[in-house]
Every structure is written in C-alpha cells, then in structure tokens.
C-alpha cells in the first residue's frame, strides 16, 4: 500500500507539483511525426502535464510547441495562421516563431518596439523514432537527446502508435511493469496448455537498481523440463518500459525483437500511451508487426485518430466484452492484449487509491518504481538530477529466453547491455 499523501505526490503532474517538476526534467513523447506532415500544415492542439499547448511545423520545417494562449488577450493560438515561419494569432495578428519570439505586431504603430519585449512560452523539440519529443523543464537542465535503441533502427525495423488511456499515468505505468498478470489477463487461448505463461503462473520477480531506474526479470519455473522461462525488462525513469518479445518470422525461426511503451501524462486523469516495437536484427519487421497488429494498438483498426486517438473498444462500450468468448476462448472476453490492459486499469478509477491495496511478492517491480519516483521528487526539490535524465539508459536492451533452471538470469546481461552501453 501507499499512503494517501505519497499517492498524491507521485500522481499529480501539473505545473509546480513535485511529480510535475520531475517529469519536466525528461524528454517527453508528444506527437507521432506524421501528425505534422509538412511545412505550414495545420496546427495541432496538445495537452501535456496539464498544460494547454499548440504544435506546428513552420515554413522551414522546424517544429514549434507554444503555450496555446496568446500572451496578448489569451485567445487560442490553435486558430492561428501557420505562415512564413511563424504562427499568427487571428485576433490581432501577433505572430510568433518556434522559439516563442514575437516576429510581428501589426496592431501596434510601426514605430513601436513592443514586439521585441514580448515572448510566449516555447519548448524545444527533437524527432527520434518517428516521434516528436519535447522538453518542458529548465533550459539549463536540458538532457541529451532521446536515444533508445528502438529510436535508432531503420523505419523498416520499427512500428509505433499511440492511444488515449482515460486514467492517471501511474496506474498505466504500473500495469506495464507488472509481469504476473500476463498469465491471466493475456491468456488468449484457454485450450493451449503449452504456453509458458500458462504452465507457470507465479513468476519469481527480481529487481536490480540502475542509474536510469532498474532492470528486472520474471522467472517462470518449468521443473518438468528442468528449465525456466525468463523475460527481462527495463524500467527507465519516469515512464518507459522495455520488454523482451521474440517473434517468429516468415522463415519459421525466431528473430530478435523487443517492445514497450511510454506513458505520457496529459493531465492528472488522462494519459497518452506511445507504443513501439522493433528488431535489431538484419531482417525488417513484417507489415503486421510494424502495424502492432493484435496488440490493441493498431492505428485505425484499434485506434481512432479522429476521436483523439481513443480506442474503438473503450469504457463506453465495455471494451466490447464478449462473455461467450470469455467462457470458451480467452480469459477476459476482450480482444487485444493492450486493450485488456487499458480496460482493467481504467476500472481502478481516474486515480487509483493505493492506500487500499494489498501487495504480494510479484509486485516487487511496482514497489521499486514508487520508491524511485518518491526519491526523485526529493532530488529535484533539492536541485539535483533525477535518474535517467541524462544518457544513463543509452544502449540497453531487453530480451527473453528459456534457460536452465539453475542458470542466473543475470547471465543474459551481455545482450541486455550490448557493447558500448553504460
């Protein structure tokens, strides 16, 4: 369990909140790159960490993220004209560049220098892994650019999407780093008793702290084979999860593959989940894997961009729960692995009351994450840098394997931490 006070501390993300100040010290995924397809395209409304923003791509192809409220009379810049390397407010014609500098103020006399004194909040951006990232913290603390392995592979080797989750960001993160639920929530074939997660439903969870968060393992013992199924993960502060996830390719053999999520707080009660998968092998992903098919995160099939990237299976339709399917085919009666995650996490309420929980041994990763987040609020309040806010996570990788039952999971580390990693 977590005290009510601590629960408030690590769930609230608005400006000036302890957790909000921590989150603003990292590069944050904000848009898929195709949402701003061309110079001078339509601006986009955006809300991150409780702040209302507008995003645009200027004539030169630079990406700007500005406060949505024009500093003049506080009207929305979303309605502005994206033209000639700036966003022009249609109320009085004030125009701002991607750095927030006022370029033109036609409502003032030509002799006035007032425009040189006016700026609007603007935030740095970078593009990596088909995602636009932004930084909302102090300029003197700006981190190195995001550089997960999945952001560096060719586009043919990666798939990304995003989907709205109507709950607080932390219960989404905790659902992702919780490994034991997969034996139940994600049992999508009740007739298959050979599935490794069905054969061993009480994993041994071990956590090793790192300077970016922690590495952890789920070990499912298979004593009849004298083996165990080991899946390795990374939790990279504050909201990234990497997990091993092999896939069988067209030739019938397993290719190296990993997947994960970034759970970005829109505000205290809603989250945008960025989903990714990639291979570091020579062979590109096939079309289905790049589209994240079967996960509940496939764009258009599972997600409606026109409805704010909301899942087509959502709480308004009970996630299209099929009771007959639940009785005969899969454990939940809900289609899509990550749809199943969102469905159950949303039932916890907008912000889960962790003071009422009863945690067990398989919740070690969740407990560790909460401790790290609470420690980070104290570190940032004291002027320090939180874990993972620099380049500590560069080069890490997550894999899964069947191993000898007496072999330590740490022996996988040469692949979890490739040559050149920290």
Within 10 Å of residue 253's Cβ, how many Cβ atoms?
A: 8
Closest C-alpha among 207, 344, 351 to residue 271: 351
The DSSP symbol for 106 reads T
Task: Look over the chain and give the mean of its residue pLDDT values, rounded to a whole number.
Answer: 92
123 located within any domain: yes
Q: Lowest mean pLDDT: which of 132-141, 178-187, 324-333, 409-418?
A: 409-418
Claim to verify: residue 170 and residue 89 sit in the same structural domain: no
Is residue 296 over pLDDT 50? yes
134 and 234 in a single domain? The answer is no
The answer as to whether 6 is a domain residue is no
118 and 158 co-located in one domain: no
235 vs 184, higher pLDDT: 235
Both 197 and 245 in a single domain?
yes
| pLDDT (average), residues 144-173 | 97
368-406 confidence digits (pLDDT tens) = 999 999 999 999 999 999 999 999 999 999 988 888 888
Contact 19, 173 (CB under 8 A): no
Do the domain assignments include residue 16? no
Produce one character per residue of 85-118: b if its CB has 16 or more CB atoms within 10 Å, e if not.
bbbbbebeebbbbbebebeebeeeeeeeeebeeb
Give residue-wise pLDDT tens across range 298-351: 999 999 999 999 999 999 999 999 999 999 999 999 999 999 999 999 999 999
Pick the last residue of a domain from 100, 120, 141: 141
Of 91, 119, 141, the position where a domain reaches its end is: 141
Is residue 356 domain-shared with residue 217, that is, in the same domain?
yes
Are residue 89 and residue 213 in the same domain, yes or no?
no
Residues present in the chain in total: 422
CATH of the domain at 384: 3.90.380
Do 305 and 401 belong to one domain?
yes
22 in a structural domain? no
- 247 has a pLDDT exceeding 60: no
20 occurs within a structural domain? no
pTM of the model as a whole: 0.94
Q: Check whether residue 136 and residue 153 sit in a common domain.
A: no
Q: What's the domain range around 180?
A: 149-416
Is residue 260 located within the same domain as residue 244? yes
Residue 8 forms part of a structural domain: no
pLDDT at 181: 81
Judgement on whether residues 66 and 154 belong to the same structural domain of the protein? no
pLDDT digits (tens, 9 = 90+) for 174-195: 999 998 888 787 888 888 877 7
Collect all residues with Cβ–Cβ distance below 8 Å to 312 and sequence separation of at least 6.
302, 303, 304
Which has the closest alpha carbon to 150: 174, 169, 130, 132? 130
Q: Is residue 2 part of a domain?
A: no
Contact 387, 235 (CB under 8 A): no
Q: Same domain, yes or no, for 116 and 183? A: no
Please state whether 162 falls in left (phi above 0), alpha (psi between -120 and 50) or beta. Answer: beta
Residue 403: per-residue pLDDT: 85
Same domain, residue pair 182 and 204: yes
For residues 371 and 363, the answer to whether their CB atoms sit within 8 Å is no
């Amino acid at each position: 369990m977590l005290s009510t006070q601590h629960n408030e501390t690590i769930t609230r993300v608005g400006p000036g909140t302890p957790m909000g100040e921590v989150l603003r010290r990292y590069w944050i995924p904000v848009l898929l790159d195709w949402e701003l397809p061309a110079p001078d395209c339509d601006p986009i409304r955006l809300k991150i960490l409780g702040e209302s923003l507008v995003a645009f791509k200027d004539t030169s192809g630079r990406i700007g993220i500005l406060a949505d409220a024009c500093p003049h009379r506080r009207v929305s810049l979303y309605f502005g004209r994206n033209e000639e390397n700036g966003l022009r407010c249609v109320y009085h014609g004030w125009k701002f560049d991607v750095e927030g500098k006022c370029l033109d103020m036609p409502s003032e006399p030509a002799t006035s220098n007032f425009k040189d004194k006016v700026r609007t909040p603007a935030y740095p951006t970078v593009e990596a892994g088909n995602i636009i990232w932004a930084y909302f913290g102090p300029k003197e603390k700006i981190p190195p650019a995001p550089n997960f392995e999945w952001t560096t592979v060719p586009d043919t080797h990666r798939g990304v999407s995003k989907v709205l989750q109507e709950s607080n960001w932390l219960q989404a993160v905790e659902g992702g780093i919780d490994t034991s639920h997969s034996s139940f929530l994600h049992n999508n074939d009740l007739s298959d008793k050979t599935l490794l997660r069905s054969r061993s439903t009480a994993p041994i969870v071990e956590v090793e702290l790192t300077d970016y968060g922690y590495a952890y393992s789920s070990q499912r013992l298979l004593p009849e084979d004298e083996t165990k199924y080991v899946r390795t993960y990374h939790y990279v502060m504050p909201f990234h999860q990497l997990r091993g996830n092999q896939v069988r390719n067209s030739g019938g053999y397993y290719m190296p593959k990993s997947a994960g999520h970034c759970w970005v707080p829109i505000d205290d009660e809603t989250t945008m989940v960025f989903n990714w998968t990639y291979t570091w092998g020579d062979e590109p992903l096939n079309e289905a894997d790049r589209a994240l098919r079967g996960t509940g995160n496939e764009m258009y099939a599972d997600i409606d961009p026109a409805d704010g990237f909301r899942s087509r299976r959502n709480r308004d339709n009970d996630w299209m729960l099929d009771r007959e399917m639940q009785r005969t085919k899969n454990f939940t009666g809900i289609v899509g692995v990550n749809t199943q995650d969102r469905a159950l996490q949303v039932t916890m309420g907008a912000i889960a009351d962790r003071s009422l929980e009863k945690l067990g041994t398989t919740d070690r990763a969740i407990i560790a994450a909460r401790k790290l987040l609470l420690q980070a609020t104290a570190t940032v309040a004291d002027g320090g840098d939180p874990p993972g806010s620099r380049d500590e996570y560069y080069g890490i990788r997550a894999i899964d394997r069947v191993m000898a039952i007496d072999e330590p999971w740490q022996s996988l580390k040469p692949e979890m931490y490739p040559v050149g990693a920290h």
